């Protein structure tokens, strides 16, 4: 299940970045508004976590390219590449202290049709640490309903991932079809969306004060925002200040066939400037680390399943500080 969560997070991150690109594009429409435009977005971030007994240095660098029609706000093509090294100190000596995450995503949209592909590698090796350390995905989506306020897409993805399920001949079963129905509603005072296994809700998206809720399989994020708009235009956000509470996790795949993860809750605050610079920080509590061998039984992380390969412990409370920069070129 952790692999599905990481996949959803990466895709959600890419979608959020695309919304930002489209917003800036709408603010700078030239005379020929029907001409598709291309934007480049470099991204950098650094986050320090103090989990009590364990500290984490988490850096991220990425580049995204978007081609879209600013008049129709319709993204036609996108490609994103993200690399994230993570260094842990204070973890048990049996586990590596350096982990790598690399993600490549490509999307092409033609009218109501959309095709996309994603590759994600999570490993203590530079790129490849075995079949269980990567996810490949090819997907197709069709817009069944595309209204002014409501849209519904039929989506089917073919995942390539090793979860420890083997055939009678000992070969791993790697192919996993995942169909879904994606829904979204957009009004001036509320937006709502559902893409399994997560959903999001924004109350007051075009008002200075708004409430944002996001949920996944077992993670969530609830935040209250105040935003200052230039000339009252919601697309021209100058300054944003938010406070919130969330449950999150950091999962690292190990080449020996296991997963080392840290789960935590946090109360945090965020300051955002022009959607280009953002700094966040907060208090972390209920921190737990765990180790599991990746196999079919632990895929769904059943509470009543355990074996000798599993390890779990409480490692105290702490804090985090995060700084991120992105720009539209």
Q: Each residue's pLDDT tens digit in the chain (329 positions)? A: 444 444 444 444 444 333 333 333 344 444 455 677 888 999 999 999 999 889 999 999 999 998 877 665 566 789 999 999 999 999 888 889 999 999 999 999 988 999 999 999 988 988 778 788 888 999 999 999 988 899 999 999 999 988 777 788 878 888 999 999 999 999 989 999 998 888 999 999 999 999 999 998 789 999 999 999 988 888 788 999 999 999 998 888 888 878 888 999 999 999 999 889 999 999 999 998 888 877 665 555 545 445 555 667 777 899 999 999 998 77
The Cα–Cα gap between 193 and 206 comes to: 16
pLDDT at 297: 57
pLDDT at 7: 47
Instruction: Render the burial of 73-93: b for 16+ CB within 10 Å, e for the rest.
Output: eebbebbbebbbebebeebee
**C-alpha distance from residue 80 to each of 11, 41, 137, 198 (Å):** 10, 9, 14, 21
Handedness of CA 320, 274, 228, 206 (dihedral sign): negative
114, 76 in Cβ contact below 8 A?
A: no
Question: Considering the entire predicted model, what is its pTM?
Answer: 0.82
Query: Would you state the structure tokens that stand for residue 296, as one six-digit string?
Result: 């079919």
Cβ neighbour number for residue 306 with a 10 Å cutoff: 12
Query: Would you state the structure tokens that stand for residue 150, as one six-digit string?
Result: 């409501």
pLDDT at 216: 86
DSSP 150-198: EEEEEEEEEEE---S-B-TTSPBP-EEEEEEEEEEEE-SSEEEEEETTE
Respond yes or no on whether the N-terminal peptide bond of residue 197 is cis (omega within 30° of 0).
yes
pLDDT at 3: 47
């Amino acid at each position: 299940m952790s692999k599905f969560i990481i996949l959803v997070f990466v895709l959600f991150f890419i979608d959020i970045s695309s919304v930002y690109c489209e917003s800036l594009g709408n603010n700078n429409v030239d005379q020929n508004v029907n001409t598709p435009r291309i934007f480049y977005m470099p991204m950098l971030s650094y986050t320090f976590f103090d989990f009590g007994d364990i500290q984490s240095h988490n850096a991220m660098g990425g580049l995204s390219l978007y081609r879209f029609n600013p008049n129709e706000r319709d993204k036609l093509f996108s490609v994103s590449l993200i690399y994230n090294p993570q260094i842990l100190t204070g973890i048990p000596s049996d586990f590596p202290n350096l982990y790598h995450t690399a993600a490549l995503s490509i999307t092409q949209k033609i009218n109501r049709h959309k095709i996309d592909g994603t590759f994600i590698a999570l490993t203590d090796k530079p790129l490849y640490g075995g079949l269980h350390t990567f996810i490949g995905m090819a997907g197709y989506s069709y817009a069944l309903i595309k209204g002014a306020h409501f849209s519904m897409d039929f989506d089917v993805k073919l995942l390539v991932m090793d979860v420890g399920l083997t055939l009678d001949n000992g070969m791993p079963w790697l192919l996993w079809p995942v169909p879904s129905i994606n829904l979204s509603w957009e009004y001036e005072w509320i937006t709502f969306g559902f893409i399994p296994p997560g959903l999001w809700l924004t109350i007051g998206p075009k008002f200075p004060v708004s409430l944002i809720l996001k949920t996944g399989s077992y993670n969530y994020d609830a935040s209250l925002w105040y935003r200052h708009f230039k000339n009252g235009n919601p697309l021209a956000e100058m300054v944003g200040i938010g406070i919130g509470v969330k449950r999150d996790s950091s999962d690292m795949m190990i080449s020996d066939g296991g997963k080392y993860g840290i789960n935590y809750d946090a109360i945090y605050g965020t300051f955002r400037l022009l959607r280009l610079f953002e700094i966040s920080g907060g208090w972390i509590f209920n921190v737990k680390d765990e180790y599991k061998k990746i196999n079919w039984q632990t895929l769904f992380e059943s509470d009543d399943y355990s074996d000798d390969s599993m390890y779990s412990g409480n490692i105290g409370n702490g804090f985090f500080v995060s700084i991120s920069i992105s720009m539209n070129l």
